[in-house]
Amino acid sequence: MKVGLSPRLRAAGLTVPLIAFIAVTFIAPLGTLLTRSVYDAEVAEILPRTMAVLADWDTSGTPSEAAYATIAMELLRARDERTLGRAATRINRIESGLRSVVVKTPRRLGRDVGTEPPGAETWRDALVAIDEAWGENATWRAIREAGQPFTSRHFLNAVDLETRADGSIAAMPESRRIYVPLYLRTLWVSLGVTALCLVIGYPIAHAIAHAGSRWSTTLLVLVLVPFWTSLLVRTTAWIVLLQNQGVVNDILVALGIVADDGRLAMIYNMTGTFVAMTHVLLPFMVLPLYSVMRSIPTRHMDAAASLGATPMQAFRRVYWPQTLPGVGAGSLLVFILAIGYYITPALVGGQSGQLISNMIAYHMQTSLNWGLAAALAAILLLAVIGLYVLYDRVVGIDRMRLG
């Protein structure tokens, strides 16, 4: 026989291609996400000389004439290079209202500006004449802040904190606290959905596991059909069922339970999110429970009964403890999936049923505040990694099974 690599190396070598592939296509993107949440050099690259001048500024009052002259030149160049909007957006995020100031300044200065300020003694006078904001301390602080490539701003923002003018970190005013309440709502919805899945899924799994072989296959199929059916199909189904003119409301009206003008609002709110998410995640609870229950012999319950236990006692003392691994596995799986859910709340949640992932998507697609989106996602990622480690401790990752 040939002398080859050691078995250890050969086994490890087989896993290398996929590990490398995952590292490049999946872990590196997560790294970029983490970087994005603390690093943004856009303004520093668009206004490099301004930042160099501002580095010597003591942040009180307004900076020197040199700073005014430099930023005027760089704003003019940014306009010509079409990077002005990107800088303006970022500065505006720190001090709202500055976008228009930044954008209009080079426009008012006009074209063909030389090294001399047009129509004024100094650059300072020229800029303040365009907008009084140029004479204010807060404007320059914001520009300086936006020019810092490394920032904790997004993370502070993501947990509803802000940096005060004196450099201290404090909670945002009540009315602007959005994200912590949203994280808490996500947490409660996920816990609620997990609990509902457990309450509904436990008897289902029990029925499949102990119904006898003929029934059990049929019942298992009833769980696997929704499991394999597209998420969008299932969400559409709930829209069809629950909407105002939908099937459920029609039945309730036909039965005279609700009046035609008193149709229930069951969708595009929190109820919609709850019902649809429970339905979508239920198979992930049933399947691990079923695989544990299948291995519990029915004679355990018979033995408990023959020793005089009531069915309730036998269940509580004999059956339930044996199903705990399945309860743990199913609950953690459902909870992990629930806290990151996006599609279902986005389609059936309306305003009140949105979760943190919907806010991440909003900042990615609509407000284009990618740094904040990355910070919100990074916090969510941390929570999931924590749960993942917990899952590994409780269940063991290598014991994961499908179907």
> From the CB of 147, what's the least distance to another protein, in Å?
21
Tokens of residue 297, six digits? 């012999």
Which of 123/391 has CB closer to another protein?
391
> b or e along 267-293 (b: 16 or more beta carbons within 10 Å of the residue's beta carbon)?
bbbbbbbbbbbbbbbbbbbbbbbbbbb
Neighbour-count burial of 146, counting CB atoms closer than 10 A to its CB (0-12 exposed, 13-18 middle, 19+ buried) = buried
Binding to another protein (CB under 8 A) within 167-206 occurs at 200-201, 203-204
> From the CB of 314, what's the least distance to another protein, in Å?
12
319 binds another protein (CB under 8 A): no
Binding to another protein (CB under 8 A) within 283-312 occurs at 283, 310-311
As a whole number of angstroms, the distance between CA 290 and CA 282 comes to: 12
Binding to another protein (CB under 8 A) within 332-371 occurs at 336-337, 339-343, 347, 357, 360-361, 364-365, 370
> From the CB of 231, what's the least distance to another protein, in Å?
6
212 binds another protein (CB under 8 A): no
- Select the residue interacting with another protein from 161, 264, 384, 390 (CB under 8 A): 384
Q: Which helix (H) or strand (E) holds 163?
A: strand 161-163
10 binds another protein (CB under 8 A): yes
395: how many CB neighbours lie within 10 A of its CB? 18
Map tokens 């993107």 to a residue: 29
Which of 37/70 has CB closer to another protein?
37
Helix axis angle, 179-210 to 270-293, nearest 10°? 40
Q: Write the single-letter amino acid at 366.
A: T
> From the CB of 98, what's the least distance to another protein, in Å?
26
Binding to another protein (CB under 8 A) within 109-148 occurs at none
> From the CB of 278, what's the least distance to another protein, in Å?
8
Cβ 158 vs Cβ 375: under 8 Å: yes
**Is residue 335 left, alpha or beta, with left meaning phi > 0 and alpha meaning psi from -120 to 50?**
alpha
As a whole number of angstroms, the distance between CA 303 and CA 315 comes to: 12
> From the CB of 73, what's the least distance to another protein, in Å?
30
> From the CB of 15, what's the least distance to another protein, in Å?
4
> From the CB of 378, what's the least distance to another protein, in Å?
8
Cβ 370 vs Cβ 363: under 8 Å: yes
Binding to another protein (CB under 8 A) within 11-70 occurs at 11-15, 17-19, 21-23, 25-33, 36
Q: Which stretch binds another protein (CB under 8 A): 85-93, 170-178, 257-265, 394-402?
A: 394-402
Which of 168/230 has CB closer to another protein?
230
| 299, 301, 302, 305 alpha-carbon torsion, rounded to 10° | 160
Binding to another protein (CB under 8 A) within 224-253 occurs at 224-241, 243, 245-247, 250
Cα 265 to chain centroid, rounded? 27
Tokens of residue 224, six digits? 């696997």
- Select the residue interacting with another protein from 88, 267, 282, 287 (CB under 8 A): 282
> From the CB of 87, what's the least distance to another protein, in Å?
19
List helix spans (H) across 307-355. Answer: 311-314, 320-339, 343-348
Binding to another protein (CB under 8 A) within 152-171 occurs at none
Total residues interacting with another protein, rule: CB under 8 A: 93
Which of 158/339 has CB closer to another protein?
339
Phi, psi for 169 (deg, rounded to 5)? -100, 130
> From the CB of 69, what's the least distance to another protein, in Å?
35
CA distances from residue 164 to 138, 167, 170, 364, 372 in whole angstroms, order as listed: 11, 5, 7, 26, 18
As a whole number of angstroms, the distance between CA 201 and CA 281 comes to: 10
Q: Which stretch binds another protein (CB under 8 A): 51-59, 84-92, 146-154, 218-226?
A: 218-226
> From the CB of 107, what's the least distance to another protein, in Å?
30
Q: Which stretch binds another protein (CB under 8 A): 10-18, 72-80, 149-157, 320-328?
A: 10-18
